[in-house]
Amino acid sequence: MALLDAYTQPLTAAQVGHLLRRTMFGPTPDQIKTLTGQTANQIVTKLLADQPVPDPPLDLTTGKVFHDQPFDTVNAGKRNVYIKNWWANLMLNQPVSLLEKMTLFWSNHFVTNTATVNDYRYMYRYNMLLRQQALGNFKAFTIAITQDPAMLRFLNGNQNVVGTANENYARELQELFTIGRKGGYTEDDVRVAAKVLTGWADTGYRDAVNAAIGSTFRANRHDTTDKTFSATYQNTVIKGRSVASAGLDELTDLLDMILRNTETPRYICRRLYLWFVNSDITPDIESNVIQPLGDLFRKNNFEIKPVLAALFQSQHFFDENLRGALIKSPADLVIGTLRFWGMLAPDPKQNITAFYQVGNYAYARLKEQQQDLLDPPTVFGWTAYYQTGYYQQWINSTTLGLRGSFGDSLTNGALKLAGKPVVDILSYVKTLSDPTDPAKLVNDMTAQLFAIPLAQTLKDFLTDTILLNSIPRYEWTGEWNDYVKNPNDAAKKQAVQLKLTNFLQYIFRMAEYQVS
């Protein structure tokens, strides 16, 4: 059996949960129930389907869009946060779609950040570019991101002019964005690529009078000489040009040259594998997953969808040993938990205050757990995705307690978002197969909440010690039935609710809940 052979059997609930945890920010119970029994091909087709363009963020004070208006210095800080809250809410309200997870992937790959760029309109445009190109053609994507005004600002492409070439973007284009460190490019290749990229500039930066922003090519600032590359690139010569289209023509030639190197598609496939599947790329995985995916990527003219479709439908992806192989990122933990319990952001046109209350809560939890949207810490992205072996960085002395307190806040009854508690544990338990049986209750809940199956001894411990606090199991049956018969009796309600709340708080702090 080849690792990339298609997995064709109907998926179990556990397999559906695994697929949705990896490709989305967590499934809801209804999504798992609805999709169970479908094939990987059927579900992946849904995941890869095109999605409508989201409405832009609104200003909380005015209720109006601001991305297409002149720059507002006074409210710039607020509007940066509005965009982050808006994105958190798009993650929260996502349908069965890969789009939001891929948008975050590309923000960790083609990195910019809010602090350096310092124009909220640029950052909104950048986010929209990521989502528009997220599942498209990698070559077209890279050409577009090279001209993106936020990227031109972040990596000094706007300062790259003939005679004083700035090498920042030329270096990261090769080291981080395309061929990677294994690609064998040289320092001379960086310098020559920088000459190819001279002449680009952003327009409209922090302009308080005019609304238009974008980028332009200035031919008089472009190096028109021929550019000769190393043997890594077969000594390719990119012919210098002086016409108005010189910038785009030479950029296209540069990308064609980089994409011809066999290491480039493999590098991108490794990044996808580390993000979606496992942080450990063994020689077997390199030979039997990464290299074939790279070949498929090239064969399909660097279209992204065929690679993802092959990976997510593969025998390898559904290997049970891969479940729980990744520590949940803050986005997976926070957004995934909120989604599981049915928390959605309301329509901002109907209730903008509640929309931003929900988005700000979600975004604040991501930021404190060290995944600040639109602000990765370095050009390498978030530490957990640097390379093999770094995934454990999501849990450290700072974030461990924050991850636990996040779970506590959802269950202690103090937190209300959009006017209601996040977790309604009693309503949820009523949806399970047999709430009167504590063992079945624990089995059902752990099957839905955990990515990995639990040993029976652990489930017994959770049942008898954590849920029941050592009372006989039959007493739970009586307490639950009493509550169902008398739901308005405060004492009977509290008898079961307190046990379930304590149980859920314990679940949220378990190691098994931290992995996907």
User: Are 433 and 349 contained in the same domain?
Assistant: no
Write down the number of H helices and E strands in the chain: 24, 6
Residues 182 and 154 in one domain: yes
Last residue of a domain, one of 215, 243, 261: 261
Domain assignment present for 289: no
Q: 102 and 207 share a domain? A: no
Instruction: Please provide the size of the chain in residues.
Output: 516
pLDDT tens-digit readout, 69-125: 999 999 999 999 999 999 999 999 999 999 999 999 999 999 999 999 999 999 999
Residue 313 lies in a domain: no
Instruction: Find the domain containing 490 and state its range.
Output: 426-514
- Of 232, 261, 290, which marks where a domain is finished? 261
Mean pLDDT for 28-37 is 96
Tally the domains of the chain: 3
Other C-beta atoms lying within 10 Å of the C-beta of residue 406: 20
Q: Is residue 270 part of a domain?
A: no
Q: What number is the average pLDDT over the span 16-20?
A: 98
Does residue 414 register a pLDDT over 90? no
* 114 and 194 co-located in one domain: no
Question: What is the pLDDT averaged over residues 495-507?
Answer: 97
If asked whether residues 483 and 506 sit together in one domain, one would say yes
End-to-end CA separation in angstroms for the chain: 25
Q: Could you read off the pLDDT of 146-194 as tens digits, one per residue?
A: 999 999 999 999 999 999 999 999 999 999 999 998 899 999 999 999 9
C-beta separation of 67 from 122 below 8 A: no
* Residue 497 within a domain: yes
Distance CA(305)–CA(300), nearest Å, equals 9
Is 306 inside any structural domain? no
pLDDT tens for 255-310 read 999 999 999 999 999 999 999 999 899 999 999 999 999 999 999 999 999 999 99
Task: Looking at the structure, tell me whether residues 401 and 452 fall in a common domain.
Answer: no
For residues 239 and 344, membership in a common domain is answered with no
- Shared domain for 55 and 144, answered yes or no, is no
Domain assignment present for residue 276? The answer is no
Element (H, E) at 359: helix 352-368
Does 431 share its domain with 404? no
Calculate the average pLDDT of the chain: 96
> In the predicted model, is pLDDT for residue 388 greater than 80?
no
pLDDT of residue 1: 52
Same domain, 132 and 150: no
3-class SS of residue 386: coil
pTM of the model: 0.96
pLDDT over 90 at 413, yes or no: no
- Percent of the chain with pLDDT strictly greater than 70: 99
Domain annotation covers residue 162:
yes
- Classify residue 178 by its DSSP letter: S
406 and 333, same structural domain? yes
Secondary structure (3-state) at 280: coil
Q: What is residue 389's predicted lDDT score, i.e. its pLDDT?
A: 72
For residue 307, is it within any domain?
A: no
Strands 416-417 and 420-421: antiparallel
Boundary-marking domain end, from 261, 278, 303 = 261
Same domain, 332 and 406: yes
